[in-house]
């Protein structure tokens, strides 16, 4: 099982707030860590959605930094074109992550 550190920044949405959460799989139980790792793998495989043809008011933007074995990768997602497995990952990070 790989050790992952996740850093999520959510901007936009209603009120234009910026929300940040950090999650380290070392802080989770084995089952929760395995689930997060599977969701991260699915997010990394998710095809990049087409950008919207016009701006969408109150749409959220997500920047996810994944650190694995000392190497970082950054993924970007925009509402409403966020894949279901990515939405689940975002929900897990919000539920189990800490504010930086």
For the chain, the DSSP string reads ---EEEEEEEEETGGG--EEEEEEGGGS-HHHHHHHHHHHHHHHHSPPPPPPSS--TT-EEEEEEEEETTEEEEEEEETT---HHHHHHHHHHHHH-B--
Domains and CATH numbers, the chain: 4-50+58-96 (3.30.350)
pLDDT digits (tens, 9 = 90+) for 49-91: 777 677 777 888 899 999 998 899 999 988 888 888 899 999 9
pLDDT digits (tens, 9 = 90+) for 23-32: 999 999 999 9
Question: pTM of the prediction?
Answer: 0.88
Q: Kindly indicate the confidence band of residue 46, based on its pLDDT and cuts at 50, 70 and 90.
A: confident
Question: Could you count the other beta carbons within 10 Å of the beta carbon of residue 29?
Answer: 9
The pLDDT of residue 1 = 61
């Amino acid at each position: 099982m790989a050790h992952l550190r996740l850093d999520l920044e959510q901007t936009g949405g209603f009120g234009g707030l910026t929300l940040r959460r950090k999650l380290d799989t070392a802080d989770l139980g084995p089952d929760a860590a395995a689930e997060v790792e599977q969701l991260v793998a699915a997010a990394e495989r998710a095809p990049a959605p087409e950008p919207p043809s016009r701006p969408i008011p109150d749409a959220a933007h997500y920047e996810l930094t994944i650190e694995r074995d000392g190497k970082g990768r950054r993924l970007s997602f925009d509402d409403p074109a966020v894949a279901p497995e990515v939405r689940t990952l975002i929900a897990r990070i919000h539920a189990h992550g800490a504010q930086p």
